[in-house]
Chain A
Amino acid sequence: SQQGEEDPQALSIQEGENATMNCSYKTSINNLQWYRQNSGRGLVHLILIRSNEREKHSGRLRVTLDTSKKSSSLLITASRAADTASYFCATDGSNSGYALNFGKGTSLLVTP
């Protein structure tokens, strides 16, 4: 079953603005990952945050994790048109067996 749920489902911003996407999950996790999917392509791993970490940075990406609220956020700073894609969170919660559970994704549109 899908554990992560992203919010909002869709987000439209202008170049240069920041984009924030949220992910909520239901059971305890070891880590949470974020992936990006460009239209018609496969998913690409962006960042992994472990359950004992609260914040992680990678270039223009900032991920936070609040295990008490079972939620995570992905912040993309100074967005570019090339950031237009769908973004998914994935968890390895206790009900996932051996594989990751993916949310339904946030569709981000960055307009010039």
Chain B
Amino acid sequence: NAGVTQTPKFQVLKTGQSMTLQCAQDMNHNSMYWYRQDPGMGLRLIYYSASEGTTDKGEVPNGYNVSRLNKREFSLRLESAAPSQTSVYFCASSVTGGTGELFFGEGSRLTVL
């Protein structure tokens, strides 16, 4: 049982390049989330999807887009990467949103040069 799987684990981009972070969960969870973690800043919510077919902005959505492809998959896209987007990105899922326990992936470390 894999839980939440993120790919890639590491990525280096040049400023202006685009890329998509993939996330898949096999727990039949309804809600999925993308957070970024920066030193001294804790985790900040980028986007979330309360259920299949819906997505909403979190605290720091600028520069990102998301797609809830189906119930299992929630991708995060950087259209034109900037050095300020250098971070560790975590995908998480929960049975339902709001108050439930989150299950996290192992993270994707992105460096933008």
Interface residues of A (CB under 8 A from B): 1-2, 30-31, 33, 35, 40-45, 48, 88, 90, 92, 97-105
Contacts and interface: CB of A to CB of B under 8 A. Distances in A.
B77 interface: no
A105 B42 contact: yes
Interface string B69-113: 000000000000000000000101000011101111111000000
B37 to A, nearest CB: 9
Contacts of A99: 33, 45, 48, 58, 97-98
Dominant SS at the A interface?
Answer: loop
A45 B101 contact: yes
Contacts of A97: 48, 56, 58
Contact of B31 (A42, A98, A104): A98
Given A41-B106, A45-B102, A92-B99, A2 B44 contact: yes
Interface residues of B, number: 27
Most central of A1, A30, A98, A102 by chain B CB within 10 Å = A98
A62 to B, nearest CB: 19
Interface in B14-61: 31, 33, 35, 40-45, 48, 50, 56, 58-59
B51 to A, nearest CB: 10
B98 A42 contact: no
Most central of B58, B59, B102 by chain A CB within 10 Å = B102
B42 A103 contact: yes
